[in-house]
Amino acid sequence: MELLWLIPAFPFAGFVLLVLAADRLSRKWIPLIGAGSVGISAILSVYIVSLFILTRPGEAYCLKLWTWMQISGFSPPVSLYLDELSAVMMIVVAVVSFLIHVYSAEFMAEEEGYSRFFAYMNLFVGFMLTLVLAENLLLLYLGWEGVGLCSYLLIGFWYKDRKNVLAANKAFIVTRVGDAAMAIGLLLLFTQLGSLDIQEMMRRASHDWRPGSPVAVASAALLLGGAVGKSAQLPLQVWLPDAMAGPTPVSALIHAATMVTAGVYLIARTYLLFTIAPAVQSLVAAIGAATLLIAGFSALTQWDIKRVLAYSTISQIGYMFLALGVGAWVAAVFHFMTHAFFKALLFLGAGVVIQGLGEEHDMYKMGGLRTQLPLTFWTFLIGAASLSALPFVTAGFYSKDLILFFSWSSGKGSPWLWAAGLMGSLITGIYAFRMVFLTFFGKAKGTIGKRPGMSIKIPLIILAVLSVIGGFLQMPDETGPALFSDFMHGALPAVATISVSSAAQEIRFACAMAAPLIGILLAWVFFLGKPAAVRSLVESRAGEILRRFWFSGWGFDLMYDVFFLRTFLRIARVNAGDFMDIAFQGPAVLSRILNAVLVPTQSGKIRWYAAGITLGAVVMMWIVLLV
């Protein structure tokens, strides 16, 4: 377990090597270093987690590396913390990131900036592993800001295209809003509790703060602000769909197991703060329920296959927030794990289709690809089925069913939250299989020009298998063992449930099974059976208005542009020439005046230079003697 520090160290080492030796490395060595360093981290993760399960069941492990700084009694250490929560996060991040790196070796092989791409990816993984293993909130915040920086670099990887730069800027700026709230929250926690060590901070908070106290509510709300920014939840979800400007492996990395789940991890890691701020915890559930519905409806109207998956990510993280808000901490983490498998699979499968069709993103220009790309079709179908929560045979069903169960039966749940989750499950089935039917069924509208090799096929197969078997770790009580929750209860508390009749439970379970099946059936009717019915509906006046509204992401971008961006720019223009600018312009004006005075002294005549040096020496001696 003393090797724990090597898990984030290897991706960082790969980054340094790729940066320093980029010009001297051949293209075959670049992916070996990039993917190899992350692969070593993945192997170490599996080994250390296995050792942790065997030797320290229910007991956390802390590895202190060094003291970061010492300022007036504040001496935060650089130390890593391994418990059941960080173990799950670490192994999922490392393994899924490695598979994406392997995929990228072939997918990005012909791209300019091959070494730069892997350097950014390695840096991203290193910061994400730092985030999930950090013992204190200061080190966590370092990883938090690190993944934000890397997301900016990766989304804008093709920086010669202006729209990619704008998308990177948007992601960076919007997430800054949440990050600023989180930074203020950390300052508040330190000033009130005197520690940023996560476990010690929660102990002090439970002892010093009464439930619902203003300082507890403020602290939890500020951390929630950071979480909604990174995890693209309402009202800061607008950056994620535009982040599709980056390469497809970047989309898979950011949207599957890393950055967008950082907010989920933050809330789960500091769960005690939210339990003593019940109003904020209820807000988490409300944000999750609203987000999963809003993003789901938007996904129904997108024509770009990657933007469908982007809105799907927002929606699925909404499910995780819903689980956190009702106190189902383990269910949220379980859905994080299954989501990492099937969402990475879907993005990578979409990348094969896009690249094979010459960078075509429009699903309406695809079709009939199941015969041209059979492996991609079957793996994509498995990913879509898991996303839709197809009953019993997919991992997504077990994790989503667990969330739906607790959204009703938890003491903090309600029928309204359950209904929102159930409606979201129906919508997910429609938009997920809309992707499948438009892309792989019907008449072929294009011919595949580039077919995937083994370094693309192998990650697809592995992720497809995980998207099926991953759910068997947490079976419903009546069908099998609950291994995942038994393991996680060492780090996260069990859910406080209310008594529900067996009849109600059976009805709830039947609805959870029926919703995705109905959604899949509707997708088949609308997009294969009777597509003319959808066209007539969309072409109606009300249908077109609704479609445009959902397609635009419910108008959030326009609202921010009108009420914030334009207003700020207008005030800035009015304020451009105020008297305060004199304080900033004064030094510049003085410098120009002094420059004009000194320029004539540069005559090129040596005797004048000698006289000046002599005069200066005399003046300096005079000053020394007088003083």
Rounded CA separation 57/561 (Å): 52
The pLDDT score that the predictor gives to residue 340 is 95
Taking the chain, what is the end-to-end CA distance rounded to the nearest angstrom? 64
- Helices 329-356 + 305-325 axis angle, to 10: 180
Assess contact for 250 and 308: CB atoms under 8 A. Answer: no
3-state SS, residue 474: strand
- 530: DSSP letter: -
pLDDT tier at 535, thresholds 50, 70, 90: confident
For the cut 70, the answer to whether the pLDDT of residue 396 exceeds it is yes
- Each residue's pLDDT tens digit, 299-355: 999 999 999 999 999 999 999 999 999 999 999 999 999 999 999 999 999 999 999
Which of these, 146, 132, 138, lies nearest to 76 by C-alpha position?
138
pLDDT tens, residue by residue, 131-160: 999 999 999 999 999 999 999 999 999 998
**Structure token pair of residue 138:** 């200061």
What pLDDT score was predicted for residue 499?
Answer: 74
Helix axis angle for 114-133 and 248-256, nearest 10°, is: 0
pLDDT tier at 507 (50, 70, 90 boundaries)? confident
pLDDT at 570: 80
pLDDT for 608 beyond 90: no
Q: Tell which wins on pLDDT, 618 or 35.
A: 35
Residue 65 three-state SS: strand
Q: In which band, very low, low, confident or very high, does the pLDDT at 421 lie, cut at 50, 70 and 90?
A: very high
**When comparing pLDDT for 602 and 321, which is higher?**
321
Name the phi and psi angles at 38, rounded to 5.
-70, -35
* Residue 575, pLDDT score: 75
Q: In whole angstroms, give the CA distance from residue 479 to residue 452.
A: 39
How open is the CA angle 366-109-259, to the nearest 5 degrees? 75
Average pLDDT along the chain = 90
**Residue percentage of the chain with pLDDT more than 70:** 98
DSSP state of 528: I
C-alpha to C-alpha distance for 310 and 299, rounded to whole angstroms: 8
Could you tell me whether strands 61-67 and 77-82 are parallel, antiparallel, or unpaired per DSSP bridges? antiparallel
For the chain, what is the largest distance between any 2 Cα atoms, rounded to a whole number of angstroms? 106
The whole-number pLDDT of residue 461 equals 97
Q: Tell me which of 85-99, 388-402, 610-624 is least confident.
A: 610-624
Q: Is the peptide bond before 235 cis (omega within 30 degrees of 0)?
A: yes
Confidence of residue 26 (pLDDT cuts 50, 70, 90): confident
Give the pLDDT confidence score for residue 381 in this predicted structure.
Answer: 97
Q: How does pLDDT run across 227-263, given as a tens digit for each residue?
A: 999 999 999 999 999 999 889 999 999 887 788 999 9
AA identity, residue 573: R
Q: Which residues make beta-bridge pairs with 67? A: 77
Q: Are 445 and 366 in contact (CB under 8 A)?
A: yes
More confident residue, 586 or 45: 45
Confidence label for 438 from pLDDT (cuts 50, 70 and 90) = very high
What's the pLDDT band for 504 if we cut at 50, 70, 90? confident
- Residue 577 clears pLDDT 70, i.e. is over it: no
pLDDT bin (cut points 50, 70, 90) of residue 580 is low
CB atoms within 10 A of CB 359: 7
Give every CB contact of residue 127 below 8 A, 6+ residues apart in sequence: 142, 143, 146, 147, 149, 150
Q: Are 520 and 429 in contact (CB under 8 A)?
A: yes
pLDDT in tens, 547-558: 899 999 898 888
Is 22's pLDDT higher than 70? yes
Residues 506-527 have a mean pLDDT of 92
According to the model, what pLDDT value does residue 231 have? 94
**Number of H-type helices and E-type strands within the chain:** 27, 2
Provide the residue type at 615 as one letter.
Answer: L
Among candidate residues 127, 132, 183, the one with its CA nearest the CA of residue 154: 127
Q: Is 64 helix (H, G, I), strand (E, B) or coil?
A: strand
Q: Are the C-beta atoms of residues 263 and 325 closer than 8 Å to each other?
A: no
Least confident of 62-66, 96-100, 531-535: 531-535
Q: Using 50, 70 and 90 to split pLDDT, how confident is the model at 508?
A: confident
Give the pLDDT confidence score for residue 496 in this predicted structure.
Answer: 80
pLDDT digits (tens, 9 = 90+) for 342-369: 999 999 999 999 999 999 999 999 988 9
For 583-609, give the DSSP string.
HHHHHHHHHHHHHHHHGGG----HHHH
Q: Is 627 a residue whose pLDDT tops 70?
A: no
Phi, psi of 311 (to 5 degrees): -65, -30
